[in-house]
């Protein structure tokens, strides 16, 4: 399933406009993302970073313009099948253990069971796997939420403020994970303030400052 | 398909764990029946007469109470995003959530109903028709309820609004459900047709609620 052709994916946005609740949040956003590339999306609070990521993930309809996958072979039309969004909300059920939460996501993503342990190890959660999610700290919850990226096996990662609440070590681990993902042919878009440093990443600004 | 099974299984596990809703639903149902019984008083004939309508009304009310749980928690914690991202058909996710709601909110009521029927002095021959009518009719309550929950997704304090929205839509199920339970008790010829009509309402809800519910979720996620 995870052949190189399917895994190498890029993205092109052409004059995209997205509205939420009848109000246009984003207008005329154009950008390209090549396979193996990481894009940092910056902008003030409320500039539309989350809206952009949700639109790319297919969770929000695009009002105008076009979002297209590139370099993804013939089955590239379904964007949803290639992108995974890890948002502010960690999607954890407090009453379930960390491993149970991951197992649920793995089933939804049709991921092999082995990938659960892989994801736990990737975000240093193996020792917490049998704790109820309710007992995790904010940073641990965020890390558990980010395991969705690894579990999904999707080539295009969309991270929304992943640095919030996590410590420097975990942040280094996360950036390492994103880098390894991109080296394998994947791509990532990270909405963030300036805490994340990825030398290879390109930055774009959305919102009012973008045109200034 | 396995994703849908996972959604149902997870909701059942959550309902059974501490703070889940399965026990709450049964207790609310028992409380509603008890309040009716206390208000009617000790006259056994009147209680027997009212047993089926009271049990059906209490089942309807306790279903209403649990409706806002169907999508709201998943919406707030981001689980609904994961379901939308991974589902082939959002309609089937709505159906799975309705099935999970039935298993965690209606099934406990059906299990508790015989005990409470005893309290209401329901004649022996009334148990079969009562349980059968509940089994056939309550899936419609969960299905229509899931639609109501989808329509009010993202609203604060949606609980009361869902009840107002969904309550009138429960009328056919209530009427045919009580009709079937009473007809069965009295051995009336309308027993079979009442059950069929009740089943028809449930099938209609099963066909329509997932479609409309998915459309409502797509709209409310914007």
Give the DSSP H/E element, type plus range, for residue A13: strand A10-20
Q: Is residue A87 part of a domain?
A: no
Domain count of the fold of chain B? 1
Q: Is B205 at the interface with chain A, CB within 8 A? A: no
**Contact between chains at A108 and B7 (C-beta distance less than 8 A):** yes
pLDDT of residue A2: 44
What's the average model confidence in pLDDT over B16-27?
83
Which of residues A123, A152, A181 is at a domain's end? A152
Alpha-carbon distance A24 to nearest alpha carbon in chain B (angstroms): 11
pLDDT of residue B159: 80
Considering only CB atoms, which chain A residues are within 8 Å of B18? 95
Verify that A123 and A180 share a domain, yes or no: no
Integer Rg of chain B from CA: 18
H helix and E strand count, chain B? 11, 0
Domain count of the fold of chain A? 2
Q: Is residue A103 part of a domain?
A: yes
Verify that A73 and A167 share a domain, yes or no: yes
Q: Is B151 at the interface with chain A, CB within 8 A? A: no
Q: What is the pTM of this model?
A: 0.91
What confidence tier does A163 reach under pLDDT thresholds 50, 70, 90?
confident
Q: Is residue A88 part of a domain?
A: no
Considering only CB atoms, which chain A residues are within 8 Å of B2? 107, 110
Q: Is residue A9 part of a domain?
A: yes
Contacts of B35 (CB under 8 A, 6+ apart): none
Domain range spanning residue A99?
93-152
**Contact between chains at A58 and B17 (C-beta distance less than 8 A):** no
What is the percent of chain A with per-residue pLDDT over 90, rounded to a whole number?
A: 46
Alpha-carbon distance B217 to nearest alpha carbon in chain A (angstroms): 11
DSSP structure class, residue A131 = S
Q: Pick from B13, B78, B221: which is nearest to A91 by CB?
A: B78
pLDDT of residue A10: 85
Alpha-carbon distance A13 to nearest alpha carbon in chain B (angstroms): 19
A6-25 core/surface letters (b: 16 or more CB in 10 A; e: else) = bbbbbbbbeebebbbeeeeb
pLDDT, tens digit, for every residue of A164-204?
888 888 999 999 999 999 998 899 999 987 677 777 778 88
Q: How far apart are CA A159 and CA A168, in angstroms?
A: 17
Residue in B with minimal Cα distance to A94: B14
CATH code for the domain in which residue A12 is found: 3.40.50.300
Chain A contacts in chain B segment 52-111 (CB below 8 A): 76-79, 81-87
Verify that A160 and A142 share a domain, yes or no: no
HSE-up (13 A, CA, CB side) for residue B28: 18
Residues shown for chain B: 222
Of A72-81, A134-143, B28-37, B61-70, least confident by mean pLDDT is A72-81
**Contact between chains at A85 and B85 (C-beta distance less than 8 A):** yes
Residue in A with minimal Cα distance to B220: A21
- Residue A167 backbone phi and psi in degrees, to 5: -80, 175
Q: Is B221 at the interface with chain A, CB within 8 A? A: yes
Verify that A159 and A59 share a domain, yes or no: yes
**Contact between chains at B7 and A84 (C-beta distance less than 8 A):** no
Chain B contacts in chain A segment 103-132 (CB below 8 A): 104-105, 107-110
C-alpha B173: how far from its chain's center?
Answer: 10
Q: How far apart are CA B97 and CA B147, in angstroms?
A: 10
Q: Is A156 at the interface with chain B, CB within 8 A? A: no
Verify that A107 and A71 share a domain, yes or no: no
Verify that A68 and A144 share a domain, yes or no: no
Domain range spanning residue B80?
2-220
Query: Residue A139 pLDDT more than 70?
Result: yes
Average pLDDT, chain B: 93
Of B16-20, B90-94, B124-128, least confident by mean pLDDT is B16-20
Alpha-carbon distance A57 to nearest alpha carbon in chain B (angstroms): 8
What is the percent of chain B with per-residue pLDDT over 90, rounded to a whole number?
A: 84
CA distances from A167 to A142, A161, B20, B63, B174 (A): 11, 13, 33, 44, 56
pLDDT of residue A22: 80
Verify that A70 and A162 share a domain, yes or no: yes
Q: How far apart are CA B106 and CA B60, in angstroms?
A: 9
Considering only CB atoms, which chain B residues are within 8 Å of A84? 85
Q: How far apart are CA B14 and CA B11, in angstroms?
A: 5
Verify that A147 and A98 share a domain, yes or no: yes
What confidence tier does A71 reach under pLDDT thresholds 50, 70, 90?
low
């Amino acid at each position: 399933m995870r052949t190189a052709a399917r895994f190498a994916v890029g993205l092109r946005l052409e004059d995209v406009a997205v509205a939420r609740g009848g109000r246009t949040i984003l207008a005329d956003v154009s950008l390209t993302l090549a396979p193996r590339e990481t894009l940092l999306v910056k902008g003030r609070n409320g500039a539309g970073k989350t809206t952009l990521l949700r639109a790319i993930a297919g969770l929000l309809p695009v009002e105008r313009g076009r979002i297209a996958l590139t370099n993804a072979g013939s089955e590239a039309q379904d964007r949803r099948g290639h992108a995974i969004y890890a948002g502010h909300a960690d999607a954890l059920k407090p009453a379930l253990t960390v491993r149970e939460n991951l197992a649920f996501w793995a089933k939804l993503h049709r991921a092999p069971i082995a990938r659960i342990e892989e994801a736990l190890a990737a975000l240093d959660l193996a020792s917490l796997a049998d704790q109820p999610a309710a007992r995790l700290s904010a940073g641990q919850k965020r890390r558990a939420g980010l395991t969705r990226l690894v579990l999904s096996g999707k080539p295009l990662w969309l991270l929304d403020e992943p640095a919030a609440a996590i410590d420097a070590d975990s942040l280094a681990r996360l950036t390492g994970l994103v880098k390894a993902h991109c080296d394998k042919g994947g791509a990532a878009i990270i909405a963030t303030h300036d805490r994340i440093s990825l030398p290879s990443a390109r930055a774009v600004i959305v919102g009012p400052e973008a045109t200034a | 398909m396995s994703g849908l099974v996972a959604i149902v299984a997870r909701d059942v596990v959550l309902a059974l764990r501490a703070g889940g809703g399965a026990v709450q639903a049964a207790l609310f149902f028992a409380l509603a029946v008890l309040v009716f019984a206390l208000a009617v008083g000790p006259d056994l004939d009147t209680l027997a007469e009212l047993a089926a309508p009271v049990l059906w009304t209490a089942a309807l009310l306790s279903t209403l109470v649990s409706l806002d749980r169907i999508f709201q928690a998943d919406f707030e914690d981001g689980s609904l995003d994961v379901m939308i991202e991974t589902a082939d058909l959002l309609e089937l996710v709505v159906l799975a959530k309705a099935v999970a709601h039935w298993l965690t909110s209606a099934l406990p009521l059906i299990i508790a109903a015989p005990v409470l029927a005893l309290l209401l002095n329901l004649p022996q021959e009334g148990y079969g028709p009562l349980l059968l009518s509940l089994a056939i009719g309550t899936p419609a309550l969960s299905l229509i309820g899931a639609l109501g929950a989808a329509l009010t997704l993202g609203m604060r304090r949606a609980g009361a609004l869902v009840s107002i929205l969904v309550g009138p839509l429960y009328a056919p199920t209530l009427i045919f459900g009580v009709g079937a339970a009473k007809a069965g008790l009295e051995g009336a010829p309308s027993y079979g047709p009442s059950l069929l009509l009740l089943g028809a309402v449930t099938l209609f809800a099963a066909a329509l609620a997932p479609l409309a519910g998915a459309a409502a979720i797509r709209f409310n996620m914007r």
